[in-house]
Amino acid sequence: MGFTRRRLLTIVGLSALAGCTSSADLGSEGAPATTAESSAAGSGSVSGGAVPTAKETLKLPMDPGELESLAVSGGPPKDGIPSIDDPSFVGPDGAGFLDPGDPVFGVALNGDVKAYPQKILVQHEIVNDRLGDLPVAVTYCPLTGTVQGFERGETTFGVSGRLINNNLVMYDRATEAWWPQILATSIPGPWNSAPGTRSLREFGLVWTTWEQWRELYPDTQVLSTETGFAKNYGRDPYGSYNPPGGYYANENTLFETLEEDDRFSRKRVFMGARTADGAVAFDKSTLLEERIMTGELNETPVVAVADQRLDTGYVYLNPEERTVTTDGSTVLIGDSSYEPDALPLAGIHTFDAMWFAWHGYYPDTDVYA
């Protein structure tokens, strides 16, 4: 029975793009968070104002009720995968449990710089935390390879135990509405049958390695393994990223995908961005190689730029089709140079996603590889 050992466990998760700006101020080196002006905090919140939502609602691939009908039990009950609600942090020297190549999810926002190790989040999927004075939820779905940050107001998010498109379905503990992670939009569920359709306010987290994050942010805080739970953070039930193996590197999915597509392998990583108007995805490895790629999001020109400091990328709306180039270390627009995450264009929340997951939710996505 040794074959079973590395991959027991379970599932859940979800998030999406709000299309609107977060009310949070980005740190000077934070990733672009949104496309539009910040909406008033709490406006348009779900069922009584518990969860801050964005002014614009993201596009859903189908009717919310139909999405609910596609939810499957991933195995664990509600909160069977326990969110971390009282996180503690250590300095970089206290993170001896991380190897240089281990993936971490980094954020620099509101004066806080934090790294959330994948090896901890794979066992919890949600961390209810604060960045500065902003209550946030950092969410990770191992089965779709998606990391998304959300404002949470004064409530917290938990893991529902259900999956749609193999992707985490979160619920908020104030209204118990379902929030599929990638979609980041409320849909009906068994605990709240009419939550309305609203999208969460999102902020970006960077999927990078511990070595790269620490080099860029030597004073970063790191989520501690002292989570209040008796978990073995040396064991990933699905596979391994360092080196790549198991679920993360093969073609299997736990449940059927929403859409089949043979253009790319299922687990290939794309940098995805979406607004209320549509979605676009850039192949991550191609972007890191070419540094700058252009494309369209539902006919609006966009540009994707790589950030080689962290091996990530950002997508910007570029309706005026300004020429964006690179001199090798910075990005050039006209005569001025910028850091990749700070172009004078409207940034769209961009995050890594496995191809099957992105295409499942956004079958009409523009895609560049």
Partner 1 sequence: MSTRNNVPLERLGAAVSRTLAAAIEVFRRPDATLVVVGTAVGYLLIYLYALGHLAPGIGGFDVTVVSGALEKFFQPELGPFSFTPVARVSVGPVTYLFSLNTVLGLGIASLVGLNLGLTYLAWRQPAACGIGSSSSGFLASIPAVLSGTACCGPVVLIVLGIQASGIIVTAFQFLLPIAVVLLLGSLVLVGRQIDPARL
User: Under the criterion CB under 8 A, does residue 328 sit at the interface with partner 1?
Assistant: no
Among residues 254 and 342, whose Cβ is nearest to partner 1?
Answer: 254
81 near partner 1 (CB under 8 A):
yes
For residues 348 and 204, give the distance between their C-alpha atoms in angstroms, rounded to a whole number.
Answer: 9
Q: Which of 35, 139, 186, 225 binds partner 1 (CB under 8 A)?
A: 225
| 249 contacts partner 1 (rule: CB under 8 A) | no
Residue 160 lies near partner 1 (rule: CB under 8 A): no
Specify the stretch interacting with partner 1 by CB under 8 A; choose among 148-156, 176-184, 222-230, 298-306. 222-230
**Residue 93 interacting with partner 1 (CB under 8 A):** no
Tell me the β-bridge partners of 270.
283, 353
Is residue 11 at the binding interface for partner 1, with CB under 8 A as the rule?
Answer: yes
Site for partner 1 contains 360 (CB under 8 A): no
Q: Which stretch binds partner 1 (CB under 8 A): 172-180, 245-253, 316-324, 357-365?
A: 245-253
Q: Is 165 in the site for partner 1 (CB under 8 A)?
A: no
- The correct pick among 27, 49, 135, 237 for binding partner 1 (CB under 8 A) is 237
Contact 275, 285 (CB under 8 A): no
Place of tokens 């359709």: 197
Instruction: Tell me the one-letter amino acid at 316.
Output: Y
Confirm or reject binding of residue 9 to partner 1 (CB under 8 A): yes
Spatial neighbors of 192 by CB under 8 A, at least 6 apart, are 47, 175, 176, 177, 178
Of 186, 245, 205, 226, the residue nearest 54 (C-alpha): 186
Neighbours of 65 (CB within 10 A): 10
| 225: nearest Cα among 79, 87, 100, 113 | 87
In the complex, minimum distance from the CB of residue 303 to partner 1, in angstroms, rounded to a whole number: 37
Using the minimum distance from each CB to partner 1, give the nearer residue, 86 or 335.
86
- Asked if residue 356 lies in contact with residue 257, where contact means CB atoms within 8 angstroms, the answer is yes
Nearer CB in complex with partner 1: 39/144: 144
8 A C-beta contact, residue 159 and residue 9:
no
Cis geometry, peptide bond prior to residue 243 (ω within 30 degrees of 0): yes
Distant-in-sequence, close-in-space partners of 26: CB < 8 Å, separation ≥ 6 = 32, 33, 108, 109, 203
Q: Work out whether 265 is an interface residue with partner 1 (CB under 8 A).
A: no
90 lies in the binding site for partner 1 (CB under 8 A): no
Asked if 66 is part of the footprint of partner 1 (rule: CB under 8 A), the reply reads no
243 binds partner 1 (CB under 8 A): no
Q: Residue 234 interacts with partner 1 (CB under 8 A)?
A: yes
Position 220 contacts partner 1 (CB under 8 A): no
245 within 8 A of 123, measured Cβ to Cβ: no
Instruction: Name the strand (E) or helix (H) holding 288.
Output: helix 284-290
Given candidates 42, 92, 173, 233, which one binds partner 1 under the rule CB under 8 A? 233
Among 228, 244, 319, 334, binds partner 1 (CB under 8 A): 228
DSSP β-bridge partners for residue 207: 105
Q: What is the CA radius of gyration of the chain?
A: 19
Q: How far is the CB of 240 from partner 1 (least distance, A)?
A: 12
Residue from 179, 207, 247, 368 touching partner 1 (CB under 8 A): that is 247
Under rule CB under 8 A, residue 263 binds partner 1: no
Q: Is 77 in the site for partner 1 (CB under 8 A)?
A: yes
Residue 235 binds partner 1, judged by CB under 8 A = yes
Instruction: Provide, rounded to whole angstroms, the least separation between the CB of residue 355 and partner 1.
Output: 17
Rounded Cα–Cα distance for residues 153 and 253 (Å): 33
Name the residue nearer to partner 1 (CB basis): 80 or 301: 80
**241 binding partner 1? (CB under 8 A):** no
Using alpha carbons, list the distances in angstroms from residue 366 to 34, 37, 184, 360: 19, 24, 20, 13
What φ, ψ does residue 356 adopt, rounded to 5°?
A: -60, -35
Give the residues lining the site for partner 1 (CB under 8 A).
1-11, 72-77, 80-82, 97, 119, 225-226, 228-235, 237-238, 246-247, 250, 252-256
